[in-house]
Structure 1
């Protein structure tokens, strides 16, 4: 049972982190809350569901998997609360099932792009990117990984633990070493928080510098992303909001108080242009960035465009 406010707080504070895990948790929280609303009138039910959706979506403004999961889960046609709840529960269970299966599909599709002996660089902690790497390793390919620290929250530490436990040789580097080390890399694989209609990638801060260094060094960049990470609202020109997080993640608050002329910016994400991306690996197959609109249209549906 997912408690709504507890789940929302865990997403906001990053106790639940990663676009895929956020999406699944939000869908489950909306489902479980809907089950408590059977006694409401149709009008009251709609009001409550929309308020719950708002609370969940506002916790993390950048990861489009969150609003997509909420929108896909809350869709219903019935004006009867009991019937609407049944639709929402079915939507959620279908979404969570597809989300869980997506990683296996991405792993299989992406592993075809990895050659025996490849050195792979990755950034932050992406279950989709790791699925590709693990699948290739299980296929017997002798690969190794260079993982960035991914400051300020050091999600790279989660990645190196997962890769270590899978038996994959891994090297941890500080973020600022990316350009220096890129000469030793054969392939870059990163995850995604959002993908715009033009194929631009919104992902953990520092992703764009990996892509830029890879382009300079003529290395291919693969993005691993479930289809629900594509952003329908960018069709209308809406920009993906870049989340700024607390300075406390970067510097001790007491130290900052001693320096009244200093301020800290802590953007959680950056944008990688589509021309720096060679291929997007999804659960529906592999696509060049230019086909992002097709993915949105065929696999998410244009009826999500105006949903908030």
Structure 2
């Protein structure tokens, strides 16, 4: 099912960036992401190894400062920085906690680069480990509901299809419609699959044995950050007494403790902002025909009983406008999650919290 990628194939080719001043971490991050198998946390780790490689830092303090600056640059350039934040956090913690016996700082930097790249090669095998673990929890004939698009979910479902009979409902996942991408990948492998409207989740839940979703991050509370709509699916699954399983590589475990949707780093004031209302013309205003006056709106409408006439601008609501006015991800509370399947085992949300504490304790 899964082939362990050798180091030379796992790591994207890197151009010679010369000196530290010429290195652009944003361009490096985007170049690495062009590989379909690379997720944002892994791309962030590889980009930071390039920061180490191109940095002229002569002390650990200077190097950590350069890494933190690179992480902040990536965060500013990314609309949804949650995943890459998890990767940056993991790599910087690794750099500061790594025991070493290097003869000099140049040797230490080379060791950090080598181990960072080696970790990425190993991390690319995590999806197969998770898939193998999760398939063991599936019964023959299972009907599964999944949401949006996730590499690890697809790999898990493909492995399950080889071992058992399954069928899958996939949400459309508007406004980006990434569920369609998932359905196409599953259908191409012969898995019985049906795309459902996001609004039909409650309708279809009676037919479902369990919900299986991927993750942008699993946070310190044990809660889940994933494609928007995951939270309401988890609420419906809980009400219907259906298990809600999340799949997450350990590099997506993130020291973040949101208390609500609005504590996520991806939230900004433009989400769910109201457009300016149409301005009515005052009583007694003379309205001319728009055809003879090009400066007026496309059309006008009036209500004689109210004594005013409103301007009727051409209002076009597109999927892109809807996407920009809506969040990409949401937060699912830990009490709604049955289990988190990871490369470090099947964990309860409380188990994730305990693992995170040990992960960053050194």
The TM tier, using the shorter chain, reads 0.7 to 0.9
Of 83, 101, 120, 2:144 maps to 120
How far apart are the structure 2 equivalents of 1:16 and 1:62? 19
How far apart are the structure 1 equivalents of 2:41 and 2:29? 11
Q: Is the 8 A contact 1:188 1:219 kept in 2?
A: yes
Do residues 277 (structure 1) and 300 (structure 2) align? no
Structure 1 residue 175: Cα displacement: 1.1
- TM normalised by structure 1 equals 0.80
How far apart are the structure 2 equivalents of 1:195 and 1:138? 28
How far apart are the structure 1 equivalents of 2:92 and 2:67? 11
Alignment partner, residue 360 of structure 2? 301
For residues 108-143 of structure 1, give each alpha carbon's deviation from its aligned partner in whole angstroms, at most 9, with x where no partner exists: 11001111111111011112222222221121x110
Structure 1 residue 146: Cα displacement: 0.7
Residue correspondences, number: 288
Of 88, 96, 118, 1:67 maps to 88
Q: Is the 8 A contact 2:210 2:243 kept in 1?
A: yes
Alignment partner, residue 181 of structure 1? 204
Which has more helix, going by share of residues?
1
- TM normalised by structure 2 equals 0.69
Alignment partner, residue 265 of structure 1? 325
Alignment partner, residue 32 of structure 1? 50
Do residues 201 (structure 1) and 224 (structure 2) align? yes
For residues 197-255 of structure 1, give each alpha carbon's deviation from its aligned partner in whole angstroms, at most 9, with x where no partner exists: 221111111001111111122211111011122222439xxx542445988xxx9xxxx
User: What secondary structure does 2:125 align onto?
Assistant: helix
How far apart are the structure 1 equivalents of 2:194 and 2:187? 10
Q: Is the 8 A contact 2:41 2:252 kept in 1?
A: no
Structure 1 residue 278: Cα displacement: 0.8
Alignment partner, residue 306 of structure 1? none
Gaps of 5+ in 1: 252-256, 304-308
Do residues 102 (structure 1) and 120 (structure 2) align? no
Alignment partner, residue 41 of structure 1? 58
How far apart are the structure 1 equivalents of 2:188 and 2:267? 32
Alignment partner, residue 5 of structure 1? 26
For residues 167-205 of structure 1, give each alpha carbon's deviation from its aligned partner in whole angstroms, at most 9, with x where no partner exists: 211111121111111111111000111222221111111
User: What secondary structure does 2:138 align onto?
Assistant: coil
Structure 1 residue 74: Cα displacement: 4.4
Closer, same or farther in 2 for the Cα pair 1:241/1:79, shift >3 Å? farther
What RMSD, in angstroms, separates the aligned Cα atoms of the two structures? 3.4
How far apart are the structure 2 equivalents of 1:216 and 1:57? 36
